[in-house]
A and B are shown apart, each in its own frame.
Chain A
Amino acid sequence: MLLKIDNVQKSYPGGRPVLRGVSLALDKGQTLALTGESGSGKSTLLNLAATLDSFDGGEITLDGTDLSGLEDPGRAALRRQSVSLVFQQFNLIPSLTVAQNLSFHARLAGRLDEAWSTHLADRLGLSDLLDRYPENLSGGQQQRVAIGRAMAAQPKLLLADEPTGNLDETASATVLDLMLSLVAETGAALLLVTHSQDIAARLDRRAHLSGGRIT
């Protein structure tokens, strides 16, 4: 199993519980939509899977590595090697060009494949924008760069937090299509957090978070 979350608990500072024993599993090539109300803990669960945050109880295994008790360098290595992230607000590196942003994660992971990067740029419609800086791109273009950056690293698991939440309907559909087709092409697993039932319906499985539990 690529990602195994077992009875995970997490409370905010001050003690308010946000996850009350969540369990789910995701294997290679599978896609899973995580839905739920605002504040239900969707993003928190995604951050835990991305090794960005620590949990209070339970167990998470990512690519065969138990995350409990893993120190900062180990977590960072997992983020470089096994996971890629796509955020709602793109979070590109403003000081790098589109080309540099696209290859950045792959180069960090030591897996830059020039041919694959060029292919990605073509597929994402970024070939003419490679020398631009993020501030000169539209929201849809920025999110395509973010997806390209994530996929260039050829991750085993792609984690996406409301990737279309900031885009209009047309851009949203384009971005989702591209993401799903690239995931299918590379055989990566996808865990996607969304409010939208329509988007969730396009993925293999869906899990709904409510009151800190999967329902």
Chain B
Amino acid sequence: MTVAIIQVLLSHWRRHRLQLATLLIGIALATGLWSAVQAINAEARASYQRANEQLALGQHDELRNPAGPITIDRYLSLRRAGWQVAAVLEETTRIGGRSIRVMGVDMVAYPALPAVTGIEQSATPPDPADMLTAPGRLLASPDLARFLSNQTGLPPVLTSPDLPPDLILTDIGVAEVLLDRKGQISRLIILPDQPRTLPEIAAITPELERVEASSQLDTAQLTDSFHLNLSAFGLLSFAVGLFIVHGTVGLAFAQRRGMIRTLRALGVSMRQLVWVILLELSLLALFGGLAGLMLGYFLAGALLPDVAATLRGLYGAPVSGEIALQPKWAVAGLAMALGGTLLASGHALIRLSHMPLLSGAGVQAWRTAAFNGFTTPLLGLLIMLVGIIVQLSIGGLVAGFTLVAGMLLGAAMLLPSLLSLVISIFQRFTKGPIAQWIWSDMRAQLPGLSLALMALLLALAANIGVGTMVSSFRLTFTGWLDQRLTSELYLTAKDDQQGREISNWLAPQVDAILPIRSVELAHPSGPLFLYGVVDDQTYRQHWPLIASGADVWDRVNAGEAVLINEQLARRQDLWPGDDLMINREYTLPVAGVYSDYGNPTGQAIVSMTRLDQIAPGVEARRFGIRTRAESATELADALRDRFDLPGQAVIQQAAMKAQSMAVFEKTFVVTSALNVLTLGVAGFAILTSLLTLWTQRLPQIAPVWALGLTRARLAQFELLRSVLLAAITAIIALPLGLALAWTLLAIINVEAFGWRLPMYLFPADWARLFLLTLLAALVAAALPAMRLLRLPPAELLRVFANER
């Protein structure tokens, strides 16, 4: 009997192939966009994990010196006392213009690293002595190894396929030479097997702090916010796709009510029917989900290189630009397709299962009932309210996203009522019979088009919201770059000695030389980068302070106070007047807070003298050079020639800004792509709604045609109706989008990245989006309008005949 029931139910899809295609495309789009985001996230996280495994990061307790590097004698003291510790020297340097992290480890003492053992077990293992004695060996990923082999003055390079893309692994002795850090150690790894009786570490090296493995901040934690943002947009795209599924399944169920009534009259129980329908939906979800997975795989492949570049630029996260098909990701995608389809169909299925045997309500009744009354708008308001309450009472990133979800979902549920209200107002002020009919007909069509219009509302609001955020960010970022990158030239010398020579040579011929010196310190809030500045008008005039006390620069230059970046200020809730503990010895009052976009870590600025006191011996080979803009190019060439500097060692301001802007633009490639795709899905939802409503549309159009309107005019009205509905929806989407933008800028960004941005308005962008929306609505309505235009009169007459 089950087979017979399945045959009957499947016969519906044979007769409604377009509906079937719409349903499968809806599932595929929803799954595809979501899976693409998940594939990107999964790939990134796999990369972090690979890097951690390859370098044994986060597996052992460490010792760090909050005041700066650890000296050799402190290391030797621990070893002599019996402690099994391994030294690590780690720093980012520029090689051939590329920013590369160098990690030097004590190859003898350090726990077996997979990257090293892999090479040792290869077909042509290097002589272990070569790794440890000059010139040593550098281990790098294949891509980096190719790059390094073209550079001069470096030790031979060995390839290790699993190493992160921008990292050199080498023996600590080799790293000392490469980084010019003779006798310095960044941290000490406490090895797992220690002798039984040992003196306390604090008794031997009281200045060192022990950091437990579990509390070490790793890349995955740093990038969590970024991935959460990405997931949120993926979920929005998924939801928009599900609107198509919900609409199509609902209509299909309504059209099958007669069939189901007959089956029940023939003795099939509702329980059996529900199980068979669930089976049918599951199969459809799996087919659609498979198509979605393929779509998601290709989409992720296309987007991953930009995401990888962003993660590297923003967090220094080691992500390769290639996507690998992971079974876990595919299974999760199919589960989402199945869950999403059942969720989107649940309402229709429940209504069907409660349908009385003799119920005669048809498609129109189903449509009308779906969004009638006060329940839906009230529920919408309630959901909005819940979002606001959660944000106000709990706070944090997840609460921020709850607010966004509540706002979007609530507004979507309010949309049909709002549209109905707007149409009623227009209708009231309309005089002509045709115009009056168009408005009243539009209102009557609302239930059938509501889901598609909701999807459009969400897509438009997301576009406006994210667009405003990105454009506000761009505007702020450009202004901020102008403030931060004021020097006409940026120079990196080979070492401190050359730095001094260049400074001496430059001093008589430029306006100012601004050393760029910094040290990474261990701080309770995470890594803290401490910078030193000299007293110069450049900083006083241009530095982008967002909060400051009196005489801010005088106090900083006198070594009495510190400036901190916005991230640190928000994370630690430190503002002018508060004290920042830099390390055990130094605590300084905060004189001001400055914006510092694109930097996930805390940063502080003290006077150069104070920096030398806190962390003696900080390298001095980078400089900003203030000179006349017209002579910058000439001076850059002269510097390269005179000091034999590679091209990338002297960068002009414009090039520096261009590089920064390029990283910025890449950051938003994914969200922009998801935005465009979501809008496309919403346009498709309108098209599918119009097409699936086509059969019910004819009985409404035919009487008007019979009363003397041509098919051409009716087709024009069909286009007009779609465009008007999209236009009203777009107008409603504007305040929603702006509310979303404000939430992203004032809540989500602050929680996720630690900076708050000013919000700017971009009416030209809205106008462009508005026109794009009208175009999408026009294109979506074009096919049904063409069908109407070409419809033979006999088809319209059949409406009157069918009624009989």
Contact = CB atoms under 8 A, between A and B. Distances in A.
A53 B797 contact: yes
Interface in B679-722: 699-700, 702-713
Interface string A28-48: 000000000000000100010
Interface stretch (B78-86, B251-259, B429-437, B768-776): B429-437
Contacts of A105: 707-708
Contact of B704 (A13, A43, A50, A93): A93
A72 B711 contact: yes
Interface string A49-72: 010111000000000000000001
Size band of the interface chain A makes with B:
35 or more
A100 B445 CA distance: 18
B440 interface: yes
A165 B702 CA distance: 20
B794 interface: yes
Interface stretch (A75-83, A115-123, A136-144, A202-210): A75-83
Interface of B: 432-434, 436-437, 440-441, 443-444, 699-700, 702-713, 793-794, 796-797, 800-801, 803-804
A161 B799 CA distance: 13
Contacts, number: 89
A52 B799 CA distance: 12
A108 B706 contact: no
Interface centre among A50, A80, A91, A96 (most CB of B within 10 A): A91
B793 A80 contact: no
Given A76-B708, A104-B437, 10 more contacts: A47-B797, A50-B706, A85-B706, A85-B707, A88-B800, A88-B803, A92-B703, A93-B704, A94-B444, A107-B432
Nearest to B711: A72
Interface centre among A50, A75, A78, A93 (most CB of B within 10 A): A93
B443 A95 contact: yes
Contacts of A93: 437, 440-441, 700, 703-704
CB-based closest 3 A-B pairs: A80-B708, A89-B803, A107-B433
Interface centre among B441, B702, B705, B794 (most CB of A within 10 A): B794
20 contacts: A52-B797, A72-B711, A76-B708, A79-B708, A85-B706, A87-B703, A87-B706, A91-B699, A91-B706, A93-B703, A94-B444, A95-B443, A100-B436, A104-B433, A105-B707, A107-B432, A107-B433, A109-B708, A161-B800, A165-B804
Is the contact region of chain B dominated by helix, strand, or loop, or is it mixed?
helix
B702 A91 contact: yes
B707 A108 contact: yes
A91 B793 contact: no
Interface centre among B707, B803, B804 (most CB of A within 10 A): B707
Contacts of A47: 797
Nearest to B368: A135
A43 B706 contact: no
A15 interface: no
A154 interface: no
Contact of A79 (B702, B707, B803): B707
Contacts of A53: 793-794, 797
Contacts of B441: 93, 95
Nearest to B433: A107
B620 to A, nearest CB: 79
A80 B707 contact: yes
A119 to B, nearest CB: 20
B707 A100 contact: no
Contacts of A161: 800
A172 B503 CA distance: 108
Contact of B710 (A52, A72, A81): A72
B282 to A, nearest CB: 37
B800 A87 contact: yes
A95 B437 contact: yes
Contacts of A96: 436-437, 440
Nearest to A77: B708
A194 interface: no
Interface centre among B433, B434, B700 (most CB of A within 10 A): B433
A108 B793 contact: no
B803 A91 contact: yes
A94 B696 CA distance: 12
B444 A95 contact: yes
A73 B710 contact: yes
A156 B711 CA distance: 24
Contacts of B804: 88-89, 162, 165
Contact of A43 (B432, B793, B794, B801): B801
Nearest to A150: B707
A94 B447 CA distance: 14
A53 to B, nearest CB: 5
A69 B110 CA distance: 96
A103 interface: yes
A168 B324 CA distance: 72
A161 B436 CA distance: 27
A94 B433 CA distance: 14
Given A79-B706, A80-B708, A94-B700, A89 B800 contact: yes
A78 B706 CA distance: 11
